[in-house]
Amino acid sequence: MKKMNGEQIPDKVLSRKIDKLLALFHKDGSKLLYEEKRFVPRKSISTVMQLAYDVKTSGPFGYLKTISRLKNYHWKHKSWDLKQYVAGCMVCQQSKDYLGKNLANSTSL
């Protein structure tokens, strides 16, 4: 930043980066969108993941199905957060053997 007449003036590179970032965000009514995806605030991430992953009628979806269901939502580190959430699912852990294979789909010999 440069000072001119006592005011701080951002340099042109920083200004262009900020303009580019702000262009990705826009407001649609009360929703904040990022690249046409609904932006999820950090405090709401666990609730959104729970609603997308835990389905009462059929049990929890896996990672791929859940990430697909969340394709219209954006937050920083979405993939990593969801992988951690799925890894902590007790229902999924109980239905897999120690090699990670789904026991529900395996056939007995």
Residues 57 and 100 in one domain: yes
**46 and 30 in a common domain:** no
Asked if 97 and 45 sit in the same domain, the reply is yes
Q: What is the per-residue pLDDT across 60-82, written as a single tens digit (0 to 9) for each?
A: 778 888 888 899 898 999 999 99
**Model pLDDT for residues 87-109, shown as the tens digit of each residue:** 888 877 776 654 455 555 555 55
Same domain, 31 and 55: no
Cα–Cα distance for residue pair 56/91, rounded to 1 Å: 12
CB 94 within 8 A of CB 102: no
- 59 and 11 in a single domain? The answer is no
Number of domains comprising the chain: 2
Pull the structure tokens for residue 41: 């605030």
Q: Is 6 exposed, middle or buried (0-12, 13-18, 19+ CB in 10 A)?
A: exposed
Residues 6+ apart with CB under 8 A from 67: 78, 79, 82
Question: Which domain covers residue 6, as residue numbers?
Answer: 1-39
